[in-house]
Structure 1
Amino acid sequence: MRETLALLEQDFTESWELTMARLCERSLSQQLRDEVCQVKRECRMALSEAMAKLKELQEDNGALRAQLASFKEDMKHRDNTKKKSPSAKVVLLMDSNRKHLDTRRMFPGRRVSSVRCANTEQALQLLKRDTLGTPSCIVIHTGTNDLRALQQHTARAVRKVAVRATQEFPDSRVVISTLLPRADTPPHIIASINRDHQRMCHPTQSTPDTPSSPGHLAPT
């Protein structure tokens, strides 16, 4: 009897241990499955985030490519504009006293553009980049026709033109021509106005230009 009980106890113990071992294996397998599922979920989330970032980078890359293409097109346009644009020129704002001016002698080797203006008021209207472009030098050879109406105030009118020229064309040299003699104006008035031209050149950063004769304007 004792032997039978001992055998039964041994069988029970072995059966219990086997059952517990199987339960442990199942528990371990479930734990592993749970861990694998968690890893899968984390991988999916990481992959989703990576795909979103990749899409964002692709969009940014597309925007940068578009900007680069626009920049290249702009630079190409600028290069073409520079190639087509003429070299820096000299612009002469001239009234009716322009007949005897020798621009080739005044500015040898330079491209000179003569722009007619009846008086200082018209000269003010012409001082625009759309009209004159980008000259390297602007010569104000006007004011003589204003003498009859303005007399001594002609100096103020010419000064206004010079100031406007320096404002509209800050990179251009501005030259003021002294007034030429007129039969209907006393010489002392013209001389006084020309002295005013000399005095006003410093604040406007202009350069006075005195003709050596009525028919020639000598550049400084």
Structure 2
Amino acid sequence: MDNGKWFCSKCRESRVRQLEEKLEAALLQIQELKELNASLEEKLRAATVGDAAQPIVQAPTARKPILVIGDSIVRHVGNVNKHMDVVCLPGIRTEQLRRYVENRDLGTPDTVIIHVGTNDLRRRNPDFVMGDMGDLVMKAQEKFPKAKIYISGILRCRGIPWRRVDVVNRMYEWVAQRRNVFFVDPNSWLQDGDFGRDGLHLNRSGFTKLGGLFSRIGGPKLPATGS
């Protein structure tokens, strides 16, 4: 019975098959749309952060003592320190940043702070992420032989288990020790309220605190903004 109409068993079986075929076709269409969307996202990402990618914030030609370079987390950290150049490359991965450092003239800063890794961690094994960071640090040492170099640890954020972030940060600290550079973990400097609604990016409080941390380790120093 369907809307007051009676169907024999043969008709019901036929109707079920029709519905199953429609469902299978719909699922197939959904899968095709997902694959198309993934392909478009990859093309957009490549166009945005490929070898020819341009930073959101271009490093000025005038020399400044601190250079911060990394993904979208560092976008506004230079607002708190006039002595800081910031090169922000949203979505960039560690291997791409190594090529960027290799192929760009970024001046001769006294301190270089590298913040990258979250985008790698979403899709790669931590061992590979650590290897890429080691290669990036070696390139930075080659590019800035007189600079003090810092690895800034990955921030705990929505979508990535904290334990996974902590494991990679311990790996980064090991890389820093092996390469004779420095490691700083910003997670002890920031709180949940320093992130925006997406749980991924910093709000005004967050980037002010992170910028204060980078100023503290790179100097000239500003008054502490968090702990």
Q: If the TM-score is normalised by the length of the shorter chain, which range does it land in?
A: 0.5 to 0.7
1:96 pairs with one of 65, 68, 72: 72
The count of residues paired between Structure 1 and Structure 2 equals 133
Could you tell me how far apart the structure 2 residues matched to 1:140 and 1:195 are?
Answer: 16
RMSD value, Cα: 2.2
TM-score by length of 1: 0.53
> Relative to total residues, which structure has the larger helix share, 1 or 2?
1
Give the residue type in structure 2 aligned to 1:138: V
Query: Is the CA contact (8 Å cut-off) linking 1:139 and 1:176 kept in structure 2?
Result: yes
Q: Does 1:113 align with 2:89?
A: no
The equivalent of 1:147 in structure 2 is: 121
CA separation of 1:129/1:119 partners in 2, compared to 1, >3 Å: closer, same or farther?
closer
Q: Does 1:128 align with 2:108?
A: no
- Secondary structure at the residue paired with 1:124? helix
Please list the CA deviations of residues 91-134 of structure 1 after superposition, one character each: whole Å capped at 9, or x if unmatched: 222212234x53244xx451323242611122111213743122
Query: Is the CA contact (8 Å cut-off) linking 1:89 and 1:113 kept in structure 2?
Result: no
Q: 5+ unaligned residues in a row in structure 1: which ranges?
A: 1-84
Could you tell me how far apart the structure 1 residues matched to 2:69 and 2:95 are?
Answer: 12
Q: Does 1:187 align with 2:162?
A: yes
Q: 5+ unaligned residues in a row in structure 2: which ranges?
A: 1-60, 195-205, 218-227
TM-score by length of 2: 0.52
Could you tell me how far apart the structure 1 residues matched to 2:64 and 2:103 are?
Answer: 13
Percent of matched pairs sharing the same residue: 22
- Secondary structure at the residue paired with 1:149? coil
User: Following superposition of structure 1 onto structure 2, how do residues 201-220 of structure 1 map, counting pairs within 5 Å?
Assistant: 201-211=176-186, 212-213=189-190, 215=206, 216-217=209-210, 218-219=213-214, 220=217
4+ residue runs over 3 A deviation:
none
Give the residue type in structure 2 aligned to 1:116: L
